[in-house]
Amino acid sequence: MVCNTVASVLSQSPPIPTVIIVDNASTDASDIEIQRRFPQATLIRNVVNKGFAAGNNIGIRYALEHGADCVLLLNNDAVLNRSAVNTMVSALFADSRRGVVVPKIYFHSPGKDQRIWAAGAQWRTLPPRVTMRGYGKRDVGQYDSAGKVEYATGCALLVRRETFEKAGLLDESYFMYQEDYAFCDRVRASGLTLWYNPESIVYHLVSASTGEGSPTKWRYWSQSVALFYVQHYGYRWWAIVPLLVFLTWVAMRELSKGKVSWALPFWQGLQVGLGNVDRQIRMAGDER
């Protein structure tokens, strides 16, 4: 899949000046295949898997050090339509207040109805959580209007250079999941907006790295959720309340489906995440 991703990047019109691929200690020889097929791209190999946030930050730093005005973050299981980047760049620089542009993202399901994976994301009050707009819905034009969104998934994000300077890079406290939402919180806190541009289209093969619904995904997801809620609510101890409300809702939702395989990795990840909560709150308190 990663070669399809790279090919879609390199076939953009107009061409992208610099393509950076960060190989996070892959074990399937995909780095060798990428180097063979795409010698024009810059390949950075990590000796160990540093996780999503740290892996992306390596590529971001390289791009910024080489003078990039903006950086497109793209998952290795996503494919761009031919004009996606050009329309995202145009939208980003149309207004200096826009710090991030997010495209319309479809499930990658050739031959089937086009169903939306994310048209940006937003905060829901009950249960308190971030939800992806349009998730699972057939596209009938209901998300064809551009505009501000509260959140965006890290699957595909175009970020202005000044945004990183104001909001920082991705938080490497997260190994995988939720780091994109935490980044969005910081972007909005810096006074910049997240802009949804439906003219830019991306196709996403969901959870190609960890497997949709796999124990690995549940473990990292629940671990990261605990950290996100603490940060989202300003490192206050009562953040545990909305967190528990949300996690109870998730558990009931999965149990209603008759599924139980998620429970052990969910709990294991949550134990690690909750174990970090007290330390995060104490560290934040010491800095004040």
pLDDT in tens, 222-263: 999 999 999 999 988 899 899 999 999 999 999 999 988 999
Q: What is the mean pLDDT of the chain?
A: 92
At residue 72, φ and ψ (nearest 5 deg) are: -95, 120
Measure the CA–CA gap between 182 and 227, rounded to whole angstroms.
9
Please answer whether residues 176 and 210 qualify as being in contact, where contact means their C-beta atoms are separated by less than 8 angstroms: yes
pLDDT at position 110: 60
Q: Per the confidence metrics, is the pTM higher than 0.85? A: yes
Are 73 and 154 in contact by the 8 Å Cβ rule? The answer is yes
Split at pLDDT 50, 70, 90, the class of 27 is confident
List of domains in the chain: 2-204 (3.90.550.10), 215-287 (no CATH)
Q: What is the pLDDT of residue 170?
A: 98
pLDDT value of residue 63: 97
Peptide bond before residue 14 is cis, with ω within 30 degrees of 0: yes
Percent of the chain surpassing pLDDT 70: 94
Phi, psi of 102 (to 5 degrees): -120, 140
pLDDT tier at 84, thresholds 50, 70, 90 = very high
Cα separation, 100 vs 9, in Å, equals 19
Give the model confidence (pLDDT) of 156-213 as tens digits.
Answer: 999 999 999 999 999 999 999 999 999 999 999 999 999 999 999 999 987 555 556 7
E strand or H helix at 197: strand 193-204
